């Protein structure tokens, strides 16, 4: 760590020099979330890397299609990969359970609860509304990290699914401890410390056309010398994905197909090239 410290300090000192920063192009992490929740999602995430601009993929380790995700990622060894820590199973028609015997994290049927935070559509079925134990959270997070690193050794970071890494100070402290212990980056809580700015669509983004237009506007707004993170969820408008939804988010297939369309759009790829935007992964932040 001592050897890295001067390099890190030097990077930030140079990076924030106004003249130097203006000469550097924007850097952008395009992060695709939720690999493992469906076969269609897995296919779309791989497509968005091979044919598009995606530069990082988050994998849900306890999800039903995780084994397929592991095999697919072997075929794209250049993609940055993170473990998307999960404490929910939010879809109505497909469920998954904790990797560990953690009773406080399970609903009456043994699955993860559908929500982390209170949701009027799922009364009393949010994890924070039930008697969860920090000991169970740590046990489960460790199991997910260790399984993920065993199956995908190049994992560079961890992130939180459905906001589970922000469930209070105890969990926030736990995440920092685990990231340090397993030598993994975590961007959910310390983006500013790593010099990263969150980016989002600028404008409507319900349809594929709207996503392409609003993503283009976002790209146009990126400033030289800065590093940005954009997060979304690629998918395919397939019969499988049309059957996956929860109350309040019914158009999953259409919405996530739009992400795939935007991230593989020739217009988007040409704009990134024209602006000299560098697509990077979390591992590049080291």
pLDDT on residue 192:
74
Q: Is residue 1 over pLDDT 80?
A: no
125 falls in which pLDDT band (50, 70, 90)? very high
pLDDT on residue 187:
77
189 falls in which pLDDT band (50, 70, 90)? low
2 falls in which pLDDT band (50, 70, 90)? very low
Average pLDDT over residues 196-203: 96
* SS3 assignment, position 225: coil
pLDDT on residue 181:
97
Q: Is residue 139 over pLDDT 80?
A: yes
Q: Is residue 179 over pLDDT 90?
A: yes
DSSP codes of every residue in 228-240: EEEEE------HH
Q: What are the residue boundaries of the structural domains of the chain, listed by start? A: 27-284
pLDDT on residue 175:
96
pLDDT on residue 190:
66
Average pLDDT over residues 143-163: 97
Q: Are 128 and 118 in contact (CB under 8 A)?
A: yes
**Residue 197 gets which letter from DSSP?**
E
Q: Is residue 16 over pLDDT 80?
A: no
Average pLDDT over residues 224-244: 97
pLDDT on residue 20:
46
206: number of Cβ within 10 Å: 12
Q: Name which of 286, 284, 283 is nearest 81 in CA terms.
A: 283
pLDDT tens, position by position, 29-49: 999 999 999 999 999 999 999
**Residue 62 gets which letter from DSSP?**
T
**Residue 113 gets which letter from DSSP?**
B
Burial of 127 (0-12, 13-18, 19+ CB in 10 A): buried
Q: Is residue 51 over pLDDT 50?
A: yes
DSSP codes of every residue in 2-32: TTHHHHHHHHHHHHTSHHHHHHSPPEEEEEE
Superfamily of domain 27-284: Glycoside hydrolase/deacetylase (3.20.20.370)
Alpha-carbon distance of 43 to 240, in angstroms, equals 12
**pTM for this entry:** 0.90
- Long-range Cβ contact pairs of 246-251 (< 8 A, separation 24 or more): 246/90, 246/91, 246/92, 246/114, 246/121, 246/122, 247/92, 247/121, 247/122, 248/119, 248/121
Q: Is residue 229 over pLDDT 90?
A: yes
Q: What is the mean pLDDT of the chain?
A: 92
Q: Is residue 13 over pLDDT 60?
A: no
Alpha-carbon distance of 41 to 253, in angstroms, equals 9
Q: Are 241 and 252 in contact (CB under 8 A)?
A: yes
CA 36 to chain centre: 12
Q: Is residue 19 over pLDDT 60?
A: no
Q: Is residue 15 over pLDDT 50?
A: no
């Amino acid at each position: 760590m001592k050897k890295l410290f001067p390099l890190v300090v030097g990077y930030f000192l140079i990076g924030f020099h106004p003249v130097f920063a203006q000469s550097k192009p924007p850097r952008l992490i395009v992060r695709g979330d939720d690999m493992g929740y469906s076969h269609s999602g897995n296919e779309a995430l791989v497509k968005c890397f091979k044919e598009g601009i995606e530069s990082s993929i988050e994998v849900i380790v306890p999800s039903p299609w995780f084994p397929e995700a592991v095999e697919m990622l072997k075929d794209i060894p250049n993609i940055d990969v993170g473990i998307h820590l999960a404490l929910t199973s939010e879809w109505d028609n497909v469920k998954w359970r904790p990797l560990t015997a953690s009773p406080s994290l399970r609903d009456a049927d043994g699955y993860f609860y559908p929500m982390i935070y209170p949701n009027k559509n799922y009364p009393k079925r949010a994890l924070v509304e039930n008697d969860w134990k920090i000991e169970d959270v740590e046990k489960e997070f460790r199991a997910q990290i260790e399984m993920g690193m065993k199956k995908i050794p190049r994992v560079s970071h961890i992130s939180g699914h459905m906001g589970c890494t922000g469930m209070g100070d105890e969990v926030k402290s736990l995440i920092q401890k685990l990231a340090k212990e397993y030598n993994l980056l975590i961007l959910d809580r310390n983006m500013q410390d790593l010099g990263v700015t969150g980016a989002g669509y600028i404008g409507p983004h319900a349809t594929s056309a709207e996503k392409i237009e609003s993503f283009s506007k976002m790209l146009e707004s990126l400033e030289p010398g800065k590093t940005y993170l954009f997060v979304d969820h690629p998918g395919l408008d397939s019969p499988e994905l049309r059957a996956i939804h929860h109350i309040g988010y019914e158009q999953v297939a259409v919405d996530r197909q739009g992400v795939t369309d935007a991230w593989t759009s020739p217009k988007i790829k040409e704009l990134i090239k024209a602006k000299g935007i560098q697509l990077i992964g979390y591992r590049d932040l080291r």
